[in-house]
Amino acid sequence: MTLHPPTVAHCDELQDALGAFRASAHTIDRWGERLAVVLTGGGRLLAAGNGGSAAQAQHLTAELVGRYRDDRPAFSAIALHADTSSTTAIANDYGVDQVFARQVRAHGRPGDVLMLLSTSGASANLLSAADAARSAGLHVWALTGPAPNPLMAGSDESLCVTAASAATVQELHLVAVHMVCAAFDAAVERGTA
């Protein structure tokens, strides 16, 4: 009898989810190319998430401001949760649901991109941010867990990961972040932006 400890089961779950996720590569290619057009044109990416998704959002912005693989110019990308003074002041004065929406109104410009990451796709503060972004003329993209979910419905485009656990969803969100960066860098290098 073969034993399947939790670590092996986790790998099996990730492998199964990755197989299904691979079919989303065309969406991520399109996002990377669109992001290259926006950022090389002087626009910016705003990104947000809660908990582990906040870490993924910050990872994405770090790759764009710094670099992903090869050296290239820096581009404007802001992780909205990373300014702790603003987030705590907004939460205190306006409520947690407005933490990201108020920052979108401050930093977002028509044509910019707001990327929202959520394993549940139901976080009230991300839904408020999506509403604020659409009202301000930003493109709203969502990386979420299984569809359907409210954030998917409130975004211009979404990529929903089908997986049994939030951990696997977050792991595939990191894969998506790296794929977006690779597609972005390729578009910038080709000069198609």
CA triple 134-123-34, angle to 5 deg: 40
Type of residue found at 41: G
Q: What distance in Å separates the CA atoms of residue 95 and residue 111, rounded to the nearest whole number? A: 27
10-residue mean pLDDT series, the chain (193 residues): 76 91 94 98 98 97 96 97 96 98 98 98 98 98 97 97 94 97 96 66
Q: What distance in Å separates the CA atoms of residue 131 and residue 156, rounded to the nearest whole number? A: 11
Q: What is the pLDDT of residue 3?
A: 60
Q: What is the pLDDT of residue 23?
A: 92
Phi, psi values for residue 117, rounded to 5° = -115, 130
From residue 103, alpha-carbon distances to 69, 84, 92, 136, 190 in Å are: 29, 12, 14, 12, 33
pTM to 2 decimal places: 0.94
Q: Is 106 helix (H, G, I), strand (E, B) or coil?
A: helix
Asked if 184 and 32 count as a contact pair (C-beta separation under 8 A), the reply is yes
Residue 61 tokens read as 């912005």
